[in-house]
Amino acid sequence: MSSTAVIIKVLSDQQRLHSESSKLTISVLLFQDLAVVPFLIIIPIIAMPELEGQLLFELGFAFIKGLFAVVILLAVGRWVLPLFFDEVGKVRFDEIFILSTLFITILASAFTQYLGLSMALGAFLAGMMLAESHYRNQLLSDIRPFKDILMAMFFVSIGTLLDAQVLANNLGILFILVVVVIAAKIFTVAVAAILMKENISTSLGVGIALAQMGEFGFILVALATKYHLLDEQLASLILATGVISMSLTPLLVQYSQKISKEVMHHSEKVFGLNKTLPGQFTEHTIICGYGRVGQIVSRFLKMESLPFIVLDRDPMRVKEARKGGENIEFGDASRRDILLIAGLEKAKLLIITFDDLQRSKALLEVIRPINPDIKVLVRTKSDRGLAQLKAAGATAVVPEVLEGSLMMVAHVLLLSGVSHRKIMRRMDDERKMQYENLHGFYYGELEQTKARFSDNSEFDEVEKLHAVRLPTLSEFIGKPISSFKVKGVIIKKLQREGGQVIKIKPASCFKVNDLLLLLGEQQNLEKADTLLLKVREAPSK
């Protein structure tokens, strides 16, 4: 048995509850908690010397009684407890909830004891009943203040079972026990996880997290000691082993990722694997996502014999690509531990091929603290979020729409007789200026409709072009261009009446019928339009 209370607390403090290894760890802990039930049934039965020769029969009978207790108590929890707590809730007296919870727990414990089973089984089943109630949040809130006190009482009572003299006389044995228990649990759990098709890193992480002895282990040892199935000296050694292993848990979990990473880096030698592992690379490229873009990039890297590793979380795609001899690993590239296994610290380039602005920004936040010098190339479909990605740490952002437009322009110019060298120079200039001349577009009815009816439309975030002609009585007539200040909006072009384009300078003044070409997002453009078209009040006579 492992410690549910300790592991949940440690993982929560380290903000790792939602990682893959943590989810698997919690699943095993829940199963262990359920597995306690048959142990609680068995121990009192096998402690009866008068049952020699009838042990199997009595165990079978005890399991029937245990099953009966489980069915009865869960049925009560499903159909009776809701009615009971409905009545308690009408009283609107908080202390009644606490007393009712204690009463139900004691009643369930007394019921299982009456059946010849342990009281701990009844208390466990009472917890399951209360957890199924729709009042569980209120109950949890009410008993929370007692949680630490009862936990402290539990460990104090366990401590009273320890014999200090026995421990002092057996320090060597105690040390060996701690090492053997932790090593055996890590090995057993890790092997089981590997057999269930988990990767080595996750398997080791789960094994390390479950390496300690838990609260139910203490209960079982105390119960076995009570029924004289264990002598006091052995019980003291087992309990001390559990206490020491639990105290080491936070340290083990904290360094579990580093341990897993090191093992992954050397696992080809240790486990005799034939595939190339990402940890063997230095100065390599990490490709996040193996869709069409990722596959095309990887083909060209392979042609140039450049080292790279691909991360993708589509199991079918990974399976097919591996069959085709591709160097691909299954994993969510936005997770820190996966990136570390892929050798992020030693990589020189990372390519984000999926078009997801929020995931890309989150991934950049993970990357930069680990390897601030790595170059990060981000692919997007449009220029939406271009500035955000650059601010988040992207070395370069490649919008498909703008790059496609550049390729179209290159073909048009080439077919029009412009020299290849001049075309390439223009393309390079645009890229160096971060597609400055390509930003913004005149939106039409389709874009307006999408923006109007879709709260998450990408058109709301793409910079648009909007033309405004200053009326005769505009408040801005005669004022300098620097007086126009609307957040997120810039004047792309200023054209005088007659077609003359004026170079935009802060000191230049607006004139009647000036045509302003504005660049910005939809909401900001609407504010600018209203401001520019606002007419000054006529002077009073």
Three-state DSSP at 352 gives: strand
Sign of the torsion angle spanned by Cα atoms 310, 311, 317, 323: positive
Higher pLDDT, 337 or 260: 337
End-to-end C-alpha distance for the chain, whole angstroms: 92
Distances (CA, A) of 126 to 4, 109, 322, 358: 18, 8, 50, 43
Q: Which of 203, 182, 334, 197 is nearest to 251 (CA)?
A: 182
Cα separation, 250 vs 504, whole angstroms: 62
**pLDDT band at 358, cuts 50/70/90?**
confident
Helix/strand/coil (H, E, C) string of 301-318?
Answer: HHHCCCCEEEEECCHHHH
Residue with tokens 């990974």: 318
Query: Exposed/middle/buried for 478, CB within 10 Å: 0-12, 13-18, 19+?
Result: exposed
pTM of the model: 0.46
Q: What pLDDT score does 45 carry?
A: 79
Q: In CATH, what class is 271-394?
A: alpha beta
Three-state DSSP at 353 gives: coil
**Which amino acid belongs to residue 6?**
V
Indicate if the pLDDT at residue 398 is higher than 80. Answer: yes
Looking at residues 133-152, what average pLDDT do you find?
A: 73
Q: Which of 358, 401, 354, 396 is nearest to 375 (CA)?
A: 396
Of 90-94, 207-211, 449-453, the least confident: 449-453
Cβ atoms of 345 and 369 within 8 Å: the answer is no
Of 17-26, 296-305, 432-441, the least confident: 432-441
**pLDDT band at 223, cuts 50/70/90?**
confident
Given the DSSP bridges, would you call strands 349-352 and 464-469 parallel, antiparallel or unpaired?
Answer: unpaired
Indicate if the pLDDT at residue 454 is higher than 90. Answer: no
Per residue in 264-308, pLDDT (tens digit) is: 544 443 333 334 444 456 788 999 988 888 888 888 888 888 888
* Domain range annotation of the chain: 1-35+161-264, 48-145, 271-394, 445-532
**pLDDT band at 434, cuts 50/70/90?**
low
Cβ atoms of 322 and 264 within 8 Å: the answer is no
What's the CATH superfamily of 445-532?
A: Regulator of K+ conductance, C-terminal domain (3.30.70.1450)
Cα separation, 187 vs 207, whole angstroms: 7
Q: What pLDDT score does 459 carry?
A: 44
Higher pLDDT, 128 or 301: 301
Q: What pLDDT score does 272 carry?
A: 36
Per residue in 474-503, pLDDT (tens digit) is: 878 888 887 788 877 777 778 887 777 777
* Residue-averaged pLDDT of the chain: 78
Q: What pLDDT score does 279 carry?
A: 46
Structure tokens at 124: 């466990």
